Structure 1
């Protein structure tokens, strides 16, 4: 087994501060490069600041222009060395090191030479004191910062350089090892207590080391990227606040602020191997906001939930019904019957919502009323409008009822268990009757009873049930493994390469997504195609291991990450871990 130091050293310089921030479990702070200096971005989304859905991505850093300086105020050139627990900046005066003291506080260890720091912050009030100073932003959204040192100050100035921006420049005398705290908080009080530096940096290493030590081992080829995936799974967690009722994993701390429903379920799969409560809380945070009618929100943010959107259509919005599926996977790992008891009724209400609200034509198959409810926001399936009866949605519902039957059986509801199993089979047969096309060997999405002639992996998704007749399953696998459709170098494209709408650079119109591959690997195994499943899993693992980071989606032919793909992406990391564990056991 690797020691803490060996594990942390394996991730040396993976945090580049350009695309990958320095952050900590639960923290809203992202420390990144900004021009020739550093900046701090906050993982927050506030309509009071910007009403646009993704406006937080465009906001300037709250603190910027952070540079180390010498006694005369000249900028110091610095060479970065990064680890999960600390950053080292080598300068001509010695080394500056940075670690998290807590989720709101950065601790900087200063070299013994006379030196200092300069930075700017978007605030309107500032005052210096004997050990540093305090800056505050007044108004609806509070932004408070305190900087504190335990070395004698030589200079300490706060100057207004813009109407809403102050600049701090401070230098300290030469002296023995000492520290500088930067506490950035929405609270009225500050952390201005400087701890023992050696202990604080050791504690930062211990936190990360303990996390990696708890992770299950994988085969050696997967180990470096698996460690990085586990870094994402810890670094991506944000603290509770307002509507964020549980410690939760963001899809990407840089690109997506909040919790999205199906992301949370995929995240829980990895956490079940390392922290049962954390895995369960990814589900609870979503169910904390279940509506009285049973619907579960699309997403949860600090300030509220998303349950309805007016674009591109005006409709309620949620995410695919994967809840019972992931709940059963957690139970298979930890055997926690009480968690099944806790969630059974909420899942039943969720399942009922689909059938009561999403079957406008009354044919028994559910339809997506909003494209974003599918998770496949811009897939060409939706180009002709809504609603759409889609094979993937009804596949999920078969799986949901199948797993509700398993859950009911464990908690002693045998009559309900049999009823769920019967409903699952009946829904599968209905889907075959209405959506299966023997001539093309595909399940087709439909709109108002007419086939939508777009070929995507979701035409194949009923394979995931593992319950299809053998001849149907073989036909779907033939399409899946066809190089002119889906069997690219790095499968599976989200639109067939033979389809004129295939665009490998645009989100859900062609790129490869790791969750699609994971679901189909499971379907292949359940349907009796283990060799194809292992090959798809191998290619997926190879794809994720190609780069230093783990991305939202990839080019299915070159394997390059999408130019607009989010970095440090949660479900790609979580499902890489899942597939690496499975591959290591083969």
Structure 2
């Protein structure tokens, strides 16, 4: 793979950023003035757009993206953007003019001139300050002061006869003082880092002529979303996106960790990014970012499933597996100690957000809800705890966890299987909730732990119920009265539900169906990119169009497909010999 391979990305969907940076460049269309914007992805930013970039006074320009450099072109004017560290952006311009159009959206925003070539932007909306230095070229400042604020402020740099470099530093109270490196040096270092990342986590598929471009896009989305330790983040962490979803949610991070199985240190880091914030009761937060932690909601306990997945692939070293035992145990017990509201011992979701399926029809009437997926995840988590305990020589604990897992599956089948399908129930009344949501199929993640007749009936309903579209499994069947093409968890196809189903079907002895669903999803990503979710009937990307868990699931499924092909070739060679 060439060090200068172009990435075929659309800045309107996939931001230009890089590992370790809190800056991103996007083509923004949902603001009062559209165009290319330098943005911040800090967790406490109330307004992310910092400056609009105008080439020769135009908001439009063609773009060419590599991992280390964004090149913008309009006629004879060329601007190159590189990102250096967490808080510095450099723009090199030549051949014409570049205007920095400050996004002074708040009444408290102001741009002041510090010297002939230096300005400071007090950006209260972004909750940060920015220092702008112009090296070379001829700058001109144009601003309007309305008594208390700048309602307009621009710096126009003429580089028609002299290449100019604009250095933009983000800071709190002290401006970064490190030397300015040459943009080519910065870009080359970023490119080398990405190439190594792509080779590691994309594997041989990076060179596949059919899917290599999509593999590189998925690798870029994950790599570019990494931010450094700092603030509430205690280690390098992968945000869900550098568009709007700029947090690490407490089940999304599991899928990101699973995609990094070839690098156990990196995989462990993504798991621990959330476990770092487990509270005294064992609860994991809803999400974390550099600015803080959100605890009003939680997310489903798929962590044991994810850890087992990584263990099966050598994706966690022995010390890390043992270190995860107590956090997993406490997280499991929390559900039974703090989310059981009656005497049946079954935990509940307080809101759709707790399940990760925010507005699924299982939550359409009232909460709290007892949903069958929750018991399935907890049973898998108990099995993982039993497995780790056995590795540690704690046979009594392993036996106890295995017994609890068996009991949990038994309760799931006794209480939530109605003879034809799994159902969700109102916690307070015990009544069955009228819902066709794909959420009720998630017990399939138990694989062959479910009784054979239950598995077969559930798979038959999946196939006969209209859920499986040409693009993957719809979260609400298209013929449901509650189906919405862009209805979030009421229709669109999502990466996490797809991977959970594929894994469960594979372990249910249905590898052909698992591969078929995986192939449909991979093809959808190949056509629409790494969107948050996809229209179930057209395959179009929806919502946030650059999501890491979609990219991570894509990489995981590509890896699984390559593994199966390798095993098949091995069997053929063995037969031939």
Question: Same fold per TM (> 0.5)?
Answer: yes
1:456-467 to structure 2, matched below 5 A, reads 456-466=437-447, 467=449
1:303 aligns with 2:291: yes
CA contact (8 A) 2:371 2:423 kept: yes
1:479: how far off? 0.7
1:311 is matched with: none
Seen in structure 2, the aligned counterparts of structure 1 residues 366 and 224 have a Cα distance that, compared at 3 Å, is same
1:201: how far off? 3.1
User: Aligned with 2:473: secondary structure?
Assistant: coil
2:572 is matched with: none
When the two chains are superposed, the root-mean-square deviation of aligned CA atoms in Å is 2.5
Aligned counterpart in structure 2 of residue 326 of structure 1, from 302, 306, 315: 306
User: Aligned with 2:49: secondary structure?
Assistant: coil
Greater displacement, 381-390 / 203-212: 203-212
Aligned counterpart in structure 1 of residue 432 of structure 2, from 434, 440, 451: 451
1:17 is matched with: 11
2:393 is matched with: 412
Greater displacement, 325-334 / 529-538: 325-334
2:2 is matched with: 3
Question: C-alpha separation between the residues in 1 aligned to 2:226 and 2:167?
Answer: 23
Aligned counterpart in structure 1 of residue 414 of structure 2, from 433, 441, 462: 433
Question: C-alpha separation between the residues in 2 aligned to 1:421 and 1:134?
Answer: 64
1:312 is matched with: none
1:217 is matched with: 204
Question: C-alpha separation between the residues in 2 aligned to 1:193 and 1:108?
Answer: 15
Aligned counterpart in structure 2 of residue 245 of structure 1, from 234, 239, 244: 234
Aligned counterpart in structure 2 of residue 159 of structure 1, from 137, 143, 161: 143
1:209: how far off? 2.2
Q: Once the two structures are superposed, what CA deviation does each residue of 1:12-38 show, in whole Å capped at 9, x if it has no partner?
A: 4x1x32222221213221222355753
User: Aligned with 1:343: secondary structure?
Assistant: helix
Question: C-alpha separation between the residues in 2 aligned to 1:462 and 1:83?
Answer: 42
1:449: how far off? 1.8
Q: Once the two structures are superposed, what CA deviation does each residue of 1:173-221 show, in whole Å capped at 9, x if it has no partner?
A: 7667563322233341234733234333322322322322323222543
* Structure 2 unaligned residues grouped into runs of 5+: 565-577
CA contact (8 A) 2:97 2:159 kept: yes
1:20-419 to structure 2, matched below 5 A, reads 20-33=14-27, 35=33, 37-46=35-44, 56=46, 59=47, 61-64=49-52, 66-69=53-56, 78-111=61-94, 113=95, 115=97, 117-122=99-104, 123-129=109-115, 132-137=117-122, 143-151=128-136, 154-157=138-141, 159-162=143-146, 163-165=148-150, 167-171=153-157, 179-191=165-177, 193-215=179-201, 216-218=203-205, 219-273=208-262, 275-308=263-296, 317-332=297-312, 333-419=314-400
1:139: how far off? 7.3
1:41: how far off? 2.0
Aligned counterpart in structure 2 of residue 468 of structure 1, from 450, 464, 468: 450
User: Aligned with 2:435: secondary structure?
Assistant: coil
Q: Once the two structures are superposed, what CA deviation does each residue of 1:502-549 show, in whole Å capped at 9, x if it has no partner?
A: 2232011111112111111111111111111111111111122122x2
Greater displacement, 200-209 / 116-125: 116-125
Q: Once the two structures are superposed, what CA deviation does each residue of 1:248-307 show, in whole Å capped at 9, x if it has no partner?
A: 22222212122110011111111222x433321222121122121111111123333222
Seen in structure 2, the aligned counterparts of structure 1 residues 145 and 305 have a Cα distance that, compared at 3 Å, is closer
1:232: how far off? 0.6
Question: C-alpha separation between the residues in 2 aligned to 1:230 and 1:92?
Answer: 32
Seen in structure 2, the aligned counterparts of structure 1 residues 164 and 259 have a Cα distance that, compared at 3 Å, is farther
CA contact (8 A) 2:444 2:455 kept: yes
User: Aligned with 2:91: secondary structure?
Assistant: strand
CA contact (8 A) 2:39 2:49 kept: yes
Seen in structure 2, the aligned counterparts of structure 1 residues 128 and 37 have a Cα distance that, compared at 3 Å, is farther
TM-score by length of 1: 0.87
Greater displacement, 399-408 / 354-363: 354-363
1:513 aligns with 2:499: no
Question: C-alpha separation between the residues in 2 aligned to 1:223 and 1:530?
Answer: 24
1:491: how far off? 2.9
TM-score by length of 2: 0.88
CA contact (8 A) 2:304 2:381 kept: yes
1:364: how far off? 2.6
Question: C-alpha separation between the residues in 2 aligned to 1:105 and 1:397?
Answer: 44
CA contact (8 A) 1:340 1:411 kept: no
Q: Once the two structures are superposed, what CA deviation does each residue of 1:429-476 show, in whole Å capped at 9, x if it has no partner?
A: 1211111122xx211111122111212223222221121121111111
